Structure 1
Amino acid sequence: MESRQPDHEFGTSVNETSTTTVLGYPRSDRILILVGMPLVGVVIGLLLPVLARQITGLSKLPLRTVVEFVAAVEETWQVVAFMAGGGVVGLVFAFVSLSESLTVTLTDSRVEASHDHWGKEGYDRADVAAVFMDGTTLVVLDHDSRQLVRGTHAAPAQKLAAAFRAHGYPWQDSDPYAALFRKWSPGSGALRPEVDAVLAARREALKHKSGHDVRELTRAVEELGHTVRDKGTEQSWRPLVRS
């Protein structure tokens, strides 16, 4: 049995035994984010007062009161406080960034996906009809083309494809149902009123970045015979298709 090691070619942390592959956030990237983002925040905290002093003389200056407040930061303890604040903000952004990526565990008979926001979900290999990348998003479909898993993954598509194929999963180079998607337009008549209502609620959840509500409303759309994908807050839908 091999212990967990970094794969330097792809920068992806992989734990492989004869039966299991774990694909998570790259270890090197994790270190870079946890160290780099706070450092960037510290530098911004150091330079911000200097920049503010340089622009206070502008005749038209948005948020002048805020800029003048920052420009007045000159004492050593004030600069240190700004730098510390920038470091904390950078660290928060680092943890948020890391929490957005899936961790995927594969065996020949089961796939599990875990996410900091919604926990862990697992599905039998027999229930999986297609696996592919939609941009940077990993998608796993069942035999009714429902989305069992949909989430951002940090690993390159080639790495994910190799891992899924090695365990016998039906990896696709692209979404096999991409041509069926149509942009959602409220009240267009293309969908039943109840589907429009769920998509309207889902659009609001997207605007408010409520990941839990978006997931629940996606499930509700699928219960009504359709599925949905997003580009920002713009939604596209297609009917479910039995494979």
Structure 2
Amino acid sequence: MESKRPDHTFRTPSATGGSTATVLGYPRSDKILILVGMPLAGAVVGLLLPVLARQITGLSKLPLRTVAEFVASVEETWQVVAFMAGGLVVGVGFAFVSLSESLTVTLTDARLEAVHDHWGRESHARADVSAVFLDGRTLVVLDHDSRQLVRGTHAAPARQLAAAFRAHGYPWQAGDPYADLFQKWSPGSGALRPEVDAVLTARKEALKHKSGYDVRELTRAVEELGHTVRDSGTEQFWRPLVQS
């Protein structure tokens, strides 16, 4: 019996001819859950918020008491509907933000193309790729100097990503082949040249402000200086570039 293809991968004729393209994106079932579930959850929160506010307004130590008392006063039907509508709108916003954070990757035997809502579209030849792996839920593609060609969150399960990349001849790895080389960055430690420290200092500020575009551009600047960087929360870890 023919197996059913996973709903987060599909194949299309390649625009460049030759091999069929495999598109890896958010699983369809997850998209439906996010696009329907988050707005519904927001509406439910809007419905229950006045009830919860009435329960806590009697507390002696209550931060933002004026706000809590205002929410607790919501009783008219039109007011409840307005709160539900507000929750619905917030839920829709969260849903679209959640979907926009994930990469969509198109693979052929010759090239890979990565698309992200925040930093656009980029394409790389398979011959330029030395390693592909997952760092947590982050998909990482390295070139032959161990620079990060692609780095971004991907929603597909690891085994499906691995199978798709291997099917098109990409060097999928079980983990980062250079993981042991990373060191935690400490500003002014003397381990790095001052210009690298300066870029990492700016990058840390971009991380604090959650400026994804700036973080990405500053990562490229670090690589131009002969190193690369990855994050754990707001902590930065660096390593020298290594030729494969």
Report if TM-score (shorter chain) is over 0.5. Answer: yes
Task: Give 2:34's aligned residue.
Answer: 33
Task: Give 2:11's aligned residue.
Answer: 15
The 5-angstrom pairing of residues 77-226 of structure 1 reads 77-226=78-227
> Post-superposition shift, 1:10?
4.9
Question: When the two structures are superposed, what TM-score results if normalisation uses the length of structure 1?
Answer: 0.95
> Post-superposition shift, 1:232?
1.4
Task: Give 1:3's aligned residue.
Answer: none
Amino acid at match of 1:34: L
> Post-superposition shift, 1:14?
2.0
| Equivalent pair of 1:10/1:156 in contact (CA under 8 Å) | no
Task: Give 1:51's aligned residue.
Answer: 52
Q: Deviations over 1:94-135 (max 9, x none)?
A: 000000000000000101100011110000011000000000
Q: What CA distance in whole angstroms lies between the structure 1 residues aligned with 2:5 and 2:181?
A: 36
Residue aligned with 1:104, SS: strand
Q: What CA distance in whole angstroms lies between the structure 2 residues aligned with 1:60 and 1:10?
A: 52
Q: What CA distance in whole angstroms lies between the structure 2 residues aligned with 1:207 and 1:155?
A: 27
Q: Deviations over 1:47-66 (max 9, x none)?
A: 00000001101111111111
Residue aligned with 1:143, SS: coil
Question: When the two structures are superposed, what TM-score results if normalisation uses the length of structure 2?
Answer: 0.95
> Post-superposition shift, 1:15?
2.6
Amino acid at match of 2:47: L
| Equivalent pair of 1:11/1:29 in contact (CA under 8 Å) | no
> Post-superposition shift, 1:28?
1.1
Count of residues in Structure 1 that have an aligned counterpart in Structure 2: 237
Against the structure 1 CA distance between its residues 174 and 28, is the aligned structure 2 distance closer, same or farther, given a 3 Å change threshold? same
Q: What CA distance in whole angstroms lies between the structure 2 residues aligned with 1:198 and 1:8?
A: 48
| Equivalent pair of 2:40/2:88 in contact (CA under 8 Å) | yes
| Equivalent pair of 1:21/1:163 in contact (CA under 8 Å) | yes
| Equivalent pair of 1:199/1:221 in contact (CA under 8 Å) | yes
Q: Percent same amino acid among aligned pairs?
A: 82
Aligned Cα RMSD in Å? 1.2
Q: What CA distance in whole angstroms lies between the structure 2 residues aligned with 1:9 and 1:202?
A: 41
> Post-superposition shift, 1:9?
7.3
Amino acid at match of 1:204: E
Q: What CA distance in whole angstroms lies between the structure 2 residues aligned with 1:60 and 1:158?
A: 50
| Equivalent pair of 2:12/2:20 in contact (CA under 8 Å) | yes
